[in-house]
């Protein structure tokens, strides 16, 4: 099963229940990005025309983690390639002999 949540907000309890009820392995990752960087990245998305930085400021919660230490925290400095390699290694979703690109 795959699931990506762009923001948890009020959905934390639902996600915690989903993980608790899942019979297989669950891997959760939290991208720890500061508000300034969040706004910068948001500006590159089509949704930025509908959701302002001011609205985001009302929703933004730094380190808004689920209870119980369910998530692996990925730092703002992690590159896309590093993050993908970490998730693939953690989840063992890589084919035998696979190595991340240099």
What's phi and psi for 59, nearest 5 deg? -95, -25
Q: Which long-range contacts link 41-44 to residues 24+ away (Cβ below 8 Å)?
A: none
Cβ atoms of residues 82 and 102 within 8 Å: no
Please name the residue ranges forming H helices in the chain: 12-21, 35-42, 53-59, 80-91
Rounded to whole angstroms, the Cα distance separating 87 from 31 reads 12
Cβ atoms of residues 28 and 72 within 8 Å: yes
pTM, two decimals, is: 0.75
More confident residue, 7 or 92: 92
Cβ atoms of residues 9 and 59 within 8 Å: yes
Q: What is the pLDDT of residue 70?
A: 85
Digit-coded pLDDT (tens) for 23-73: 888 888 988 999 999 899 889 989 889 999 999 898 888 888 888 888 899
């Amino acid at each position: 099963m795959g699931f990506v949540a762009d923001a948890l907000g009020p959905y934390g309890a639902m996600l915690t229940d989903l993980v608790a009820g899942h019979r297989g392995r669950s891997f959760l990752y939290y991208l720890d990005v500061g508000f300034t960087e969040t706004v910068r990245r948001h500006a590159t998305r089509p949704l930025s025309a509908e959701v302002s930085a001011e609205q985001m400021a009302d929703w933004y919660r730094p380190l808004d983690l689920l209870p119980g230490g369910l998530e692996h925290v990925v730092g703002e400095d992690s590159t896309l390639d590093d993050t993908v390699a970490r998730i693939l290694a953690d989840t063992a979703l890589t084919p035998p002999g696979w190595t991340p690109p240099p």
